[in-house]
Amino acid sequence: MPDRALRVRNPLPVVAVVVIGLLLAACGGGAASSATPTINLYIYPDGSGAVQQAIDTCNAASGGRYQISYQTLPTGADGQRQQLVRRLAAHDSSMDVLALDVTWAPEFAQAGWILEWTGANQTQATTGTLQGPLATATYNGKLYAAPFNSNTQLLWYRSDLVPTPPTTWAEMINMSTALAQQGKPHYIEIQGNQYEGITVWFNSLLASAGGSVLTPDGSAPSLGAPAITALTTMQQLATSVAADPSLSVQMENDNRLAMESGTAAFELNYPFVYPSMKADKPDLFQNFKWAPWPAVTAGQPAHVTIGGINLAVSAYSKHSDLAFEAALCLRNRDNQLVGAIKGGVPPSLSDLYTDPTLIAAYPFAAEIQASLATAAVRPLTPAYQNLSIAISHAVSPPSSINPQSAESTMASELKDALASKGLVP
């Protein structure tokens, strides 16, 4: 019987052709242009157009020596970090300038992924820059990034409900309780979800109470009595009538929405709420005022944790000199002003805060500058991610905090985290 089984064509050549075809299609990616070097800027997506404008300005000013290309990262900080880490760990040479969140510089520096800023570059990056942002870009005494923009929280309140703003947390909670008894809107809006935001809240309270998360050399947890004070404050607020019922799931945006809905009297949040209130609720906006962050101890001003973005140069970049230059251009005075006004992100250069153009868009410029000058930073350690998770888990939900046990749990978890021992939850 003829072996008609072999009428079936051998599938292997077909498969090989398909695979090779796919590979060829993939390799069709553009050849590297040898004319003008491209500096790839990896940064968050900016809907306001401020970043693009900065890029265009710098490209024009480069005199043909380089062209910056806008490569978007995901919107969320975690997504950005993942993308950057994955590619840096693979020594990807197509990344040049990286936009880092303020907590990442020590981690990236320790791993050898970003270059140190020295000499003239260092001088240019540090001159005129506010102390707080600069601290976040420094690790082991070396500068690893140039501060780009910054951010800090203020106390926002409704002047129709609160004639004079409170100066301490205890005072604020009392005011809120009084308002509640009168049946008026009284919530204190703050970020209580189990994420980075609650770590920021705890860090600010801790610094304002005179303590810090780690010892100065970053090798061991410090916590102690100030931490107990901070934890007690959080627990008191969360269990008082001042707490929004959704406190334990709230993030910055939820606080903004609650304030705009009229149920809240106080809000601890970033300046983005100001233009938003103006646009969304013009009637409430009439009475929408700001004040510095409340202190923990009367007479000792608060230290608010700063946020923001720093620009670093990848250690695997093929054009590191040009990358430094591009980064310095992107964060120069003019571009930071554009970023502040168009993009809504406070600048990191101190003299911009006395610029009339900025003050026109930021009536609260003075308060922000003051806050940035006395800012608290989150622990500057490569193990920061682990620390943050340990902290946010220990203080969440805020209503169930037992200050003594939370402090000791935190201390032991932080010790493990610093040694990168054990699992993170």
Burial 268-288 (b: 16+ CB within 10 A, else e): bbbbebbebbeeeeeebeeeb
Three-state secondary structure readout of 148-214: EEEECCEEEEECCCCCCCCCEHHHHHHHHHHHHHCCCCCEEECCCCCCHHHHHHHHHHHHHCCCCCE
The pattern of x and - marking residues 199 through 238 that bind other proteins according to CB under 8 A reads: ----------------------------------------
State which of residues 122, 126, 248, 408 lies at the interface with other proteins (CB under 8 A): 248
Q: Report residue 307: phi and psi, to 5°.
A: -115, -165
Is-contact 135 260, C-beta < 8 A? no
State which of residues 59, 67, 150, 151 lies at the interface with other proteins (CB under 8 A): 151
Q: Is 282 in the site for other proteins (CB under 8 A)?
A: no
State which of residues 25, 31, 60, 298 lies at the interface with other proteins (CB under 8 A): 25
Nearer CB in complex with other proteins: 75/118: 75
**Span 306-325, contacts to other proteins by CB under 8 A:** none
Nearer CB in complex with other proteins: 228/340: 340
- Separation of alpha carbons 425 and 422, rounded Å: 10
How near is the Cβ of 346 to other proteins at its closest, in Å?
11
**Span 171-200, contacts to other proteins by CB under 8 A:** 193-195
Q: Is 103 in the site for other proteins (CB under 8 A)?
A: no
Angle subtended at Cα 203 by Cα 197 and Cα 198, rounded to the nearest 5 degrees: 20
- Total residues in contact with other proteins, by rule CB under 8 A: 81
Query: For 118, left (φ over 0), alpha (ψ -120 to 50), or beta?
Result: beta
State which of residues 82, 123, 181, 412 lies at the interface with other proteins (CB under 8 A): 82
How many other CB atoms sit within 10 Å of the CB of residue 386? 21
3-state secondary structure of 15: helix
Is-contact 198 206, C-beta < 8 A? no
Q: Is 56 in the site for other proteins (CB under 8 A)?
A: no
Q: Is 300 in the site for other proteins (CB under 8 A)?
A: no
Q: Is 122 in the site for other proteins (CB under 8 A)?
A: no
Q: Is 425 in the site for other proteins (CB under 8 A)?
A: yes
Q: Is 3 in the site for other proteins (CB under 8 A)?
A: yes
State which of residues 49, 52, 56, 75 lies at the interface with other proteins (CB under 8 A): 75
State which of residues 96, 101, 107, 325 lies at the interface with other proteins (CB under 8 A): 107
Q: Report residue 254: phi and psi, to 5°.
A: -65, -40
Q: Is 119 in the site for other proteins (CB under 8 A)?
A: no
Is-contact 312 144, C-beta < 8 A? yes
**Span 392-411, contacts to other proteins by CB under 8 A:** 393, 396-397
State which of residues 158, 186, 256, 319 lies at the interface with other proteins (CB under 8 A): 256
- Separation of alpha carbons 89 and 253, rounded Å: 33
The residue type of 246 is S
Q: 215 Cβ partners below 8 Å, 6+ apart?
A: 221, 222
Q: Is 116 in the site for other proteins (CB under 8 A)?
A: no
Tokens standing for 263? 């149920």
**Binding piece for other proteins, criterion CB under 8 A, among 59-67, 77-85, 181-189, 201-209:** 77-85
Nearer CB in complex with other proteins: 239/261: 261
Q: Is 356 in the site for other proteins (CB under 8 A)?
A: no
**Span 29-48, contacts to other proteins by CB under 8 A:** 29, 45-47
Q: Is 126 in the site for other proteins (CB under 8 A)?
A: no
Q: Is 13 in the site for other proteins (CB under 8 A)?
A: no
The residue type of 266 is F
Q: At what angle do helices 320-330 and 50-61 cross, to 10 degrees?
A: 120
How near is the Cβ of 317 to other proteins at its closest, in Å?
16
**Binding piece for other proteins, criterion CB under 8 A, among 50-58, 138-146, 324-332, 379-387:** 379-387
Nearer CB in complex with other proteins: 117/384: 384
